[in-house]
Structure 1
């Protein structure tokens, strides 16, 4: 041995070169050698490695274990070939370390193959730990960190500390979810590949990450699980880019689907919460809500805004914040406010908000409890500030970043175009709606024998105004014309066509034509309008129309339809049903006659005329919708006697479907005309008929207490009956009707139109109709199936002057 140590380790207590490779693997053979090289200790692992029991080795030189004996000192570590059993050899890798103060050296050895595997494993460890793009975490059976390269500043995810567990480095919910997944790997041995995990740190500075991780179970040499090796990559940027892309898509698809301004504003808020922010609000200028352009204001802190839409991730909008409908208080005139007025986005924290506003009451209105980060993006279009979008983060710990501000700017710019489109549509919609309503008659009319109420509801926002209309026309002899129609198409041209048709109906009403004749004339007019239209629009010019004529004397209503739904008649104490009416073609089609139907309308009954826009609110199928409308009218009539309330009830009925088309409704309820208010006679076409008619009229006026009308009535009766005797023949009918006015009618079998002319001073006749025109309030004629009727109206004179 020469007094020298055959095996010497590092004198400083380290493993020497073995430390660089991480030292011997677990379960190595161990021998204790004194300064002379004599084996003083021999482990069971050593017995197994060389197949030599301790009694054969202890007390002998360690050099005798070499396959080739050498009397030199062995290096501190290396590879040698040892004797194995009686005749064999085995290559081993050994490490030596001097035990200070004892005079002994500890030698550890393993088979060379196993040592190579350990070195390779350690090399892999070192390579993994040196990565800055691939995270590696070795966890033990309790999922505590053994070795890792996920340290502060060295990896994108939350930093890991040796000995830490998941709940110490990430949010509790995220930790529980990840731990459950890793324990499954540990228990089953099934590896996990490319698992996505969203991670939030709960300690400042707060961040969010998206990690893609894989995990495999680690085992000892006997196959027992010892822990989990986790490999992860930072997918945060990809995740955020995907989030931004998704939010852009949601904004593109979800904002601007409606041409209603307030609904568009709500779509903006709904898009941003909860995916982007915890709270969002949208403020718009009052002028924008009215459809007008906002004022160009780039100075001062009053943005002239009103809160239109809000959204909170937690549910209800916080009570202390500015509510929907409230005016936004003026801001101090600061550069930050001017930036918004000029169309630039600002990103600030709560402290900056408090410094900007100053007033604690204003801060409470603007900043939610716990809100720490705010972005305000202007809704800027055509160099006009339409409003602003604000988003807060309160529950989320991470503040908004510059990328978030750029994203909101992009979304707000796109949304501003939708808001501006809705604003311009609102302006046009209101203009057309105003024109439409101005063209319609007054909603309610009341005469002695008829009460009517009309209702018109434009299509819901997002659809253009159409050409639905209704009319109630007071005709001579207490008769009433009822009209409802629906022009094809929508917009200004439909409204203009409706105005022309309503004017035509008013004119035809003065001619006192029958309902089918009125439709025939309207059909000709619509055909003329279609011929005047541009070639591409001729097929779109048309209308449906229903005309009804009520006579209080006969208590009958005659009606005709041009492609229009039949009216519904509700009797006073009976059910409501659609009138059996055969509709003709729509106006403008031509070629077919229009048929009439006559129904009895006792006093107190209700006749409902409507357009198909109302039916579609009750059911898609028009026949089913008509039945539902009739049932509702029947139910409402039993409890509601006022026509305006009855009309509102019918308009509000149905399944709640929005009015996708204009809807018009006209309700008419006749009143009783006392039998004593009507007197009629019939005379032969003889000269004596004039005196007899005059006397009969005078007696009836005396009975009615209208002696003040007797003189004028006698003259009118004399002139009209005289003309009938001379020019028309008999029989001659005379009828007096007492209502708001006194009506005098003379009927004859001739269809000759009476003409008013001025007689010359030398003429012996020709002054009859001139006198009638001068003495009456108005006069006219109408034609029936057999002859004509000339009528004249007078104001009632109940007090006869003495």
Structure 2
């Protein structure tokens, strides 16, 4: 190439750089005044040369940090050290409403002899790249931060934490009240009058709202808010003005937005699979740049991610609500009122396990107290709990001893585990149970435990009674080893506390601290059982429970001669008449004349059978419980069987008669022999009704 050609090429290149290249190029003299600039560069188009040439940055681009740029430029002139890709932001000279982020590179210009001629400054507009990077950073933080809990309100707060100050100046999230209550959500459009609950309102500056966080609100129809909830589509209002439909239709909201200086707004519905969960509103007030279509996409992505987490929280709460409702339906509404014990209970639903209790009236005035836990979560654990409760009730009414009952229950749990295929991550069926039987006639209490927290027996003075119930393996884990039952005689007024692990968890790994705390709370014999349950609820469980917590309290009573009559009769058929006389006299003393005739017939049949088929003396006992109990005990362990007598038969009608005269009847077995019992409803003479406790 000839020298002239090279000169012409260099001149053409310079001309192109200063007239047609998209990048900014400025030549400054040693006084930092513009000598020449690229008129085609973005941000400089339309500016006449005399508005730039001969001027400093402060003069032609006052929206940029001129003091910082002047300091850096003088350093480059003095040292010759170039500056590359320095990011600065400011407003475009010919469009002060638009902000610009620029990447600057500065080079010193020197003559061949070393004389400093000035600076060459290259400017690259990276506003869009910067905005894209910031949007990606916001979405990345959203993926990392949103949805860390199974709490819908907390998830809304995480959205606000990600967006406020970076994407929007104000973020408001309203969720359907049914979402926060775990109720069923119908798919499709949401009517405008459906109540929403304010989950979060967060802003960079103070923002006054007539809807405090946590309160209910409803939307004014029709606005972009109601339309987004109806068709599940986001809305963008780039420039919010007084005549906008949102402002016109909802004057109160418009006034608050105007007071906050709202300039631009995005409404994004929170929806999953066609089901609306709530609404997110992003507002820019202090930020000058309005929302654009790319911001609408970011807001939609933020809302979608939040909706997924809110839906997961709702689904968990919905399933938990169903499981809790099922569990409550499967539990007794209240313990039965029994003369043997005074009872009260406390049940607090947690996030795991299904606790249950029972107070089962037994023959002889006795009562069975049951407390158990099924490990697991949700409907499955509640359903298993219902099954075990039914089994325990059935076995209890068969008068099985505590150790035998737990053995059968252990086998039942193992069979359920074999029949159940657990879902991934779910444990196999496992449960615990504490079972005890209290006899108010003798004060005797027998108990056995399977993997359950130990019984807490408290004396009338507040101290612990000597009643240590051995704890066997959990139900389903026993492996046929069996369980050990112990029995003691309890003084009247003893307090029996049956509880589950959730009530004492959290104090220490072994739960001893929680048990000590529970004992201190219960060591107040002057307080009623209901008051004690409240004390435990207030003091021992101040936080949300990770698992179910249950407390069953029973205060014992002893039956005296006003409730029990006992006779021992010889095995002689002649004593049947004597037995009828004794019963008649006792019922007269109790004021139970209305059941005297039926009771005498029942006693005659039971005593006759005991003498005919039994061995040794016969024991006859009357107990005035909720009903009138008539018991006949003999030493023969053979069970009586009722049969339907034919017309010509002379016998076989005894037990059939007992069944018709009784509300219930049955047989229980002792260490020696058996007891046949029958229960009748009480019919008290009017003149005695007021005096009988």
Q: Please indicate, yes or no, whether the TM-score normalized by the shorter chain is above 0.5.
A: yes
Tell me the CA shift for residue 577 of structure 1. Answer: 8.7
1:296 to 161, 174, 188: 188
Contact 1:751–1:783 (CA<8 Å) still a contact in 2? Answer: yes
Tell me the CA shift for residue 610 of structure 1. Answer: 2.9
Contact 2:211–2:217 (CA<8 Å) still a contact in 1? Answer: no
Matching of residues 367-386 of structure 1 within 5 Å:
369-386=260-277
Measured at CA, do residues 346 and 530 of structure 1 come closer, stay the same or move farther in structure 2, by a change above 3 Å? closer
Query: In structure 2, how many angstroms separate the alpha carbons of the residues matched to 1:175 and 1:634?
Result: 73
Query: In structure 2, how many angstroms separate the alpha carbons of the residues matched to 1:184 and 1:457?
Result: 73
- Tell me the residue number matched to 2:480: 591
Larger Rg: 1
Matched, 1:564 2:455: no
- Tell me the residue number matched to 2:607: 721
RMSD across aligned positions (CA): 4.8
Matched, 1:275 2:166: yes
Paired residue secondary structure (1:677): coil
- Tell me the residue number matched to 2:231: 342
Q: 414-423 or 389-398, which moves further after superposition? A: 414-423
Query: In structure 2, how many angstroms separate the alpha carbons of the residues matched to 1:314 and 1:642?
Result: 53
Tell me the CA shift for residue 720 of structure 1. Answer: 2.3
Query: In structure 2, how many angstroms separate the alpha carbons of the residues matched to 1:604 and 1:139?
Result: 103
Paired residue secondary structure (2:391): helix
What TM-score does the superposition give when structure 2 sets the normalisation length? 0.79
Matched, 1:329 2:219: yes
Query: In structure 2, how many angstroms separate the alpha carbons of the residues matched to 1:632 and 1:419?
Result: 37
Measured at CA, do residues 755 and 136 of structure 1 come closer, stay the same or move farther in structure 2, by a change above 3 Å? farther
- Tell me the residue number matched to 1:318: 208
- Tell me the residue number matched to 1:700: 586
Matching of residues 618-697 of structure 1 within 5 Å:
618-619=506-507, 621=509, 623=510, 625-635=511-521, 638=524, 641-651=527-537, 653=539, 658-661=544-547, 663-683=548-568, 685-687=570-572, 689-697=575-583
Matched, 1:254 2:149: no
* Unpaired stretches in structure 1, ≥5 consecutive residues: 1-122, 220-226
Matched, 1:610 2:493: no
Tell me the CA shift for residue 268 of structure 1. Answer: 3.1
Query: In structure 1, how many angstroms separate the alpha carbons of the residues matched to 2:82 and 2:530?
Result: 71
Contact 1:526–1:541 (CA<8 Å) still a contact in 2? Answer: yes
Matched, 1:786 2:672: yes
Tell me the CA shift for residue 129 of structure 1. Answer: 13
Tell me the CA shift for residue 737 of structure 1. Answer: 2.3
Contact 2:234–2:266 (CA<8 Å) still a contact in 1? Answer: yes
Q: 731-740 or 240-249, which moves further after superposition? A: 731-740
Paired residue secondary structure (1:446): coil
Contact 1:269–1:309 (CA<8 Å) still a contact in 2? Answer: no
- Tell me the residue number matched to 2:379: 492
Matched, 1:515 2:407: no
Q: Deviations over 1:76-128 (max 9, x none)?
A: xxxxxxxxxxxxxxxxxxxxxxxxxxxxxxxxxxxxxxxxxxxxxxx99x999
Measured at CA, do residues 354 and 756 of structure 1 come closer, stay the same or move farther in structure 2, by a change above 3 Å? same
Query: In structure 1, how many angstroms separate the alpha carbons of the residues matched to 2:564 and 2:541?
Result: 50
Query: In structure 2, how many angstroms separate the alpha carbons of the residues matched to 1:763 and 1:385?
Result: 76
- Tell me the residue number matched to 1:363: 254
Tell me the CA shift for residue 679 of structure 1. Answer: 3.3
Q: Deviations over 1:522-577 (max 9, x none)?
A: 22222333343459999813322221222222334322112222233343432469
2:366 to 479, 483, 486: 479
- Tell me the residue number matched to 1:548: 436
Measured at CA, do residues 704 and 410 of structure 1 come closer, stay the same or move farther in structure 2, by a change above 3 Å? same
Contact 1:377–1:388 (CA<8 Å) still a contact in 2? Answer: yes
Contact 1:607–1:669 (CA<8 Å) still a contact in 2? Answer: yes
Query: In structure 2, how many angstroms separate the alpha carbons of the residues matched to 1:490 and 1:170?
Result: 61
Measured at CA, do residues 560 and 149 of structure 1 come closer, stay the same or move farther in structure 2, by a change above 3 Å? farther
- Tell me the residue number matched to 1:19: none
Matching of residues 97-246 of structure 1 within 5 Å:
133=23, 146=33, 154=41, 162=55, 169=62, 199=89, 205-206=96-97, 234-246=125-137
Q: Deviations over 1:470-497 (max 9, x none)?
A: 2222223332222222224333333332
Measured at CA, do residues 697 and 247 of structure 1 come closer, stay the same or move farther in structure 2, by a change above 3 Å? same
Query: In structure 1, how many angstroms separate the alpha carbons of the residues matched to 2:687 and 2:138?
Result: 87
- Tell me the residue number matched to 1:797: 683
* Unpaired stretches in structure 2, ≥5 consecutive residues: 1-12, 111-117, 689-693
Query: In structure 1, how many angstroms separate the alpha carbons of the residues matched to 2:43 and 2:673?
Result: 101
Query: In structure 2, how many angstroms separate the alpha carbons of the residues matched to 1:748 and 1:421?
Result: 64
Contact 2:28–2:36 (CA<8 Å) still a contact in 1? Answer: no
Matched, 1:753 2:642: no
Contact 2:503–2:541 (CA<8 Å) still a contact in 1? Answer: no
Tell me the CA shift for residue 691 of structure 1. Answer: 4.6
Q: 126-135 or 666-675, which moves further after superposition? A: 126-135
Contact 1:571–1:605 (CA<8 Å) still a contact in 2? Answer: yes
Contact 1:200–1:206 (CA<8 Å) still a contact in 2? Answer: no
Measured at CA, do residues 627 and 604 of structure 1 come closer, stay the same or move farther in structure 2, by a change above 3 Å? farther
Q: Deviations over 1:252-307 (max 9, x none)?
A: 23333444444444433333223321211223445555543446349xx8373513
Aligned length: 663
Query: In structure 2, how many angstroms separate the alpha carbons of the residues matched to 1:191 and 1:600?
Result: 97
Q: Deviations over 1:756-801 (max 9, x none)?
A: 2233444444333233222232222222223222222223333179
Tell me the CA shift for residue 216 of structure 1. Answer: 10
Tell me the CA shift for residue 154 of structure 1. Answer: 4.8
Contact 1:189–1:216 (CA<8 Å) still a contact in 2? Answer: no
Contact 2:663–2:680 (CA<8 Å) still a contact in 1? Answer: yes
